[in-house]
């Protein structure tokens, strides 16, 4: 009986060519029972898997699946032990993923201490000194599964899952629910290119969210269930390239499921050469050169040394500037490529970007002021970099510094690098139509004070004109020039004077 769920580990896109099949690493894990859903912890030391019909499950031999735990010792996964009654019950239990720091485990399904579960969704368990806490339920609007089977994979800001739900084309279809401003959104059916009148199962995503991997018996494969991949063509989540069968290197006349790309290789399950139930398999990199792939995002542990010099792993935390609490924000790295990540509910995020470029970093979260930063890594020889950000809540009295808005010396002519931040202000004003602001222009104290005052006012007028030209109502913007009368630093050095030459806006109405 097919009870399949999926993994949500931090994943990375590798090419399919240049790998060979192997499974001795899992000789102590695979058993006469049905091994499913292998999930590797963020530190790579623990594997969580679901085993069905095991007599030691909470529901005994009839239990559809409990979470078991295997440790990696000397490069080999050890015989799994039962995960305990905190995260297991008589229903189907499986891990969907982890928070970036590994302190939260996301589980498929809802939990109830009395065992009488009446709702559906996901749950979160917290890491404690002696194991995992009892999971707390998290609801997804309009989440419903009428089938006994479902599976799900948690990526940075998207939860892809398979279920028989609203608008299902046949049996189980694949859906996605996105997290925005810390809340899960209504699921979206991925559409008829992906979903068929038969069954689609065990979806997973590349770390950039552009490549979907899934199992299906409705796309004319080699066996009962084959693994396919498809590219997302836009941001609607309903426009996909025609699915491509991954071929005989993975698929067979048997049943292949749970294709997951982890930082230690590609995992999947297959009933080929097994006892009829699924065993865990792995694809390992050979000495053949890796072909080029579309995405620049890869786990640094598996990138060839020659490519490591061109990659930088960015980690950090996004917090509320007032309360210092972590927040879930969208973080965009823009150069000649666009890399988008979503910080977790605790504010932590990770992104892998190419070095040798100048990036514009945009941060956005509902209820907070957009933020723009510059990152120049053209000369830095770094492999890892920590960048922490604070976002200001939208409140009357909040003063926002526009650090990237610059003018040619002594003029109102904007430098080219000013426009990304100006456009961010436009986006902020359009997303918050009730907000009114007062622009404030400042100079240093050099030169004639009256001319500085006039110049600061003219620059404010120039910025206001740009915002209005982009569709922001003039009545929502006031402007005032202060010249050099409100310094925030001394004027005895060029660095200090640079801080005093600034443009800010004050929120005067919300």
pLDDT of residue 382: 60
pLDDT of residue 83: 95
Residue bearing tokens 């008829």: 192
Q: How far is CA 118 from CA 3, 108, 144, 295, in A?
A: 20, 14, 12, 41
For residue range 43-76, list pLDDT tens digits in order.
889 999 999 999 999 999 999 999 999 999 988 8
Helices 419-431 and 449-469 cross at an angle (nearest 10°) of 60
Q: How far is CA 231 from CA 62, 193, 221, 295, 477, in A?
A: 38, 11, 18, 11, 43
pLDDT of residue 94: 95
| C-alpha–C-alpha distance, residues 121 and 205, integer Å | 19
The model's pTM is 0.56
pLDDT of residue 294: 30
407 neighbors 461 (Cβ within 8 angstroms): no
42 neighbors 103 (Cβ within 8 angstroms): no
| C-alpha–C-alpha distance, residues 122 and 109, integer Å | 5
Q: How far is CA 71 from CA 7, 36, 48, 82, 263, in A?
A: 17, 16, 9, 12, 16
453 neighbors 445 (Cβ within 8 angstroms): no
Q: Domains of the chain, with CATH numbers? A: 19-285 (2.115.10.20), 303-393 (2.60.40.1120), 394-510 (3.30.1330.60)
User: In the beta sheet, which residues pair with residue 342?
Assistant: 330
37 neighbors 49 (Cβ within 8 angstroms): yes
Bridging pattern class, strands 200-205 and 188-189: unpaired
pLDDT of residue 496: 66
Cα four-point dihedral sign 55, 60, 66, 67: negative
For the chain, which residues score pLDDT lower than 50? 1-22, 285-309
Which residue pairs, CB below 8 angstroms and at least 24 apart, start in 73-77? 75/25, 76/25, 76/27, 76/28, 77/25, 77/26, 77/28, 77/29, 77/47
Phi, psi of 332 (to 5 degrees): -115, 130
pLDDT of residue 7: 28
pLDDT of residue 124: 94
User: In the beta sheet, which residues pair with residue 240?
Assistant: 232
Element at 135 (helix H, strand E):
none
Q: How far is CA 84 from CA 58, 117, 329, 408, in A?
A: 9, 18, 34, 66
Query: Which of 365, 367, 368 shows the shortest CA–CA distance to 331?
Result: 365
């Amino acid at each position: 009986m097919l009870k399949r769920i999926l993994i949500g580990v931090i994943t990375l896109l590798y090419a399919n060519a240049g790998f060979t099949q192997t499974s001795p690493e899992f000789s102590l894990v695979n058993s006469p029972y049905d091994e499913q859903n292998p999930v590797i912890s963020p530190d790579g030391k623990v594997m969580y898997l679901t085993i069905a019909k095991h007599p030691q499950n909470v529901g005994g031999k009839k239990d559809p699946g409990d979470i078991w735990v295997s440790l990696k010792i000397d490069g080999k996964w050890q015989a799994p032990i039962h995960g305990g009654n905190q995260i297991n019950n008589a229903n189907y239990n499986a891990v969907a993923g982890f928070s970036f720091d590994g302190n939260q485990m996301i589980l498929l399904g809802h939990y109830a201490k009395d065992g009488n579960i009446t709702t559906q969704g996901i749950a979160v368990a917290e890491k404690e000194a002696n194991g995992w806490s009892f999971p707390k339920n998290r609801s997804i609007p309009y989440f419903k599964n009428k089938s006994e089977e479902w599976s799900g994979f948690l990526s940075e800001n998207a939860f892809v899952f398979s279920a028989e739900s609203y608008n299902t084309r046949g049996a189980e279809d694949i859906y996605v629910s996105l997290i925005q401003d810390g809340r899960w959104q209504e699921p979206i059916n991925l559409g008829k290119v992906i979903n068929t009148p038969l069954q689609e199962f065990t979806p997973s995503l590349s770390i950039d969210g552009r490549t979907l991997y899934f199992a299906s018996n409705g796309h004319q494969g080699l066996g009962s269930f084959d693994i396919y991949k498809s590219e997302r063509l836009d941001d609607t989540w309903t426009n996909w390239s025609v699915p491509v069968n991954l071929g005989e290197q993975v698929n067979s006349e048997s049943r292949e499921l749970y294709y997951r790309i982890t930082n230690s290789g590609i995992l999947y399950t297959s009933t080929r050469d097994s006892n009829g139930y699924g065993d865990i398999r792995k694809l390992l990199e050979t000495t053949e050169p890796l072909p080029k792939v579309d995405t620049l995002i890869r786990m640094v542990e598996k990138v060839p040394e020659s490519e490591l010099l061109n990659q930088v792993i960015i980690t950090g935390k996004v917090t509320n500037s007032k309360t210092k609490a972590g927040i879930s924000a969208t973080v965009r790295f823009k150069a000649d490529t666009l890399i988008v990540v979503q910080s977790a509910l605790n504010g932590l995020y990770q992104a892998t970007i190419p070095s040798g470029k100048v990036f514009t970093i945009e941060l956005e979260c509902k209820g907070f002021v957009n933020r723009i930063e510059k990152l120049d890594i053209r000369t830095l020889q770094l492999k890892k970099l920590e960048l922490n950000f604070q976002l200001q809540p939208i409140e009357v009295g909040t003063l926002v510094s526009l650090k990237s808005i610059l003018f040619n010396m002594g003029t109102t002519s904007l430098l080219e690098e000013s426009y990304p931040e100006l456009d961010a202000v436009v986006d902020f004003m359009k997303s918050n139509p009730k907000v009114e602001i007062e622009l404030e222009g400042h100079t240093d104290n050099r030169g004639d004070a009256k001319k500085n005052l006039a110049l600061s006012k003219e620059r404010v007028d120039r910025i206001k004109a740009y915002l209005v030209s982009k569709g922001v109502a003039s009545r929502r913007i006031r402007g005032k020039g202060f010249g050099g009368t409100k310094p925030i630093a001394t004027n005895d050095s060029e660095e200090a004077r640079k801080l005093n030459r600034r443009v800010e806006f004050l929120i005067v109405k919300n």
